[in-house]
Amino acid sequence: MVKRSTWSLPYFIFMVVFVVLPLLLIVLYAFQDGAGHFTLSNITRFFTDSDSLQTFALSIEVALENTLICILLGYPAAWILSNRKLNRSAVTVMLFIMPMWINALMRTLATAELFNMLGFTLGKGTLLFGMVYDYIPFMIYPIYNILMKMDSSYAEAAEDLGATPWKVFWKVTVPLSMPGVMSGVLMVFMPTVSTFAISEFLTNNKIKLFGTIIQENINSSMWNYGAALAFIMLIIIGLTSLMGDNKQAEAEGGLI
């Protein structure tokens, strides 16, 4: 009789080969020069290169803007979807989630074509549009989820204690749905920092994001610098996810 723990072996091997080894390789490459000697120059190069730093700052800025727009548009959408008086059918929810079924690259290409056809100049505006379009379902869904599960007696209790519907929303509904918002933020913010396809297609590479320069470096065989940049990005993303890492978000946040 084979021990049950051995059943997990294939998954373990998969994780090692496709997750752990690549990560180790990134770290290894990041701290080596072209000849394979240990060096910190890749890291210091990033922090001394104003172009890289500017791109990095712009990436963070775009990611923050994208996240903010997603919250501002996504929260009301999730609230309306979860409100049984305003939305009685599951179809509307599906319509919001459906874009997630289609490959993001396809959607982005289609959006770019649409902008070309309409004669819009591609730039930061179109970039943000594409990002919001791609990522907003990831914001709506966890918030919708938590609002749906929220016990209506909290709102009733607040109303009973003298809160107008407006106050109920701000003092009870919003605070209680924060874990959902946190999940949404993690799922929108982290991928937007590293995205490059959207900026490539929707700005014709006019705007370069952090993901873009990593891709360019690796494409032009500058493995070590590319790995260093990827390593820095990983650290940043790790830090943001630690920020949002609380037990409540895990328990109630839906997707993460």
Binding footprint of other proteins on the chain (CB under 8 A)? 151, 153-154, 156-165, 167, 171-172, 175-176, 178
The CB-of-172 to other proteins minimum distance in angstroms stands at 6
Based on CB atoms, which residue is closest to other proteins, 7 or 160?
A: 160
The CB-of-89 to other proteins minimum distance in angstroms stands at 19
The CB-of-146 to other proteins minimum distance in angstroms stands at 12
DSSP conformation letters of the chain: ---GGGGGHHHHHHHIIIIIHHHHHHHHHHTB-TTS-B-SHHHHHHHH-HHHHHHHHHHHHHHHHHHHHHHHHHHHHHHHHH-TTT---HHHHHHHHGGGGS-HHHHHHHHHHHHHHHTPPPSHHHHHHHHHHHHHHHHHHHHHHHHHHS-HHHHHHHHHTT--HHHHIIIIIHHHHHHHHHHHHHHHHHHHHH--HHHHHHSTTSS--HHHHHHHHHHTT-HHHHHHHHHHHHHHHHHHHHHT--HHHHHHSS--
Based on CB atoms, which residue is closest to other proteins, 89 or 153?
A: 153
Based on CB atoms, which residue is closest to other proteins, 3 or 85?
A: 85
The CB-of-171 to other proteins minimum distance in angstroms stands at 8
Based on CB atoms, which residue is closest to other proteins, 80 or 176?
A: 176
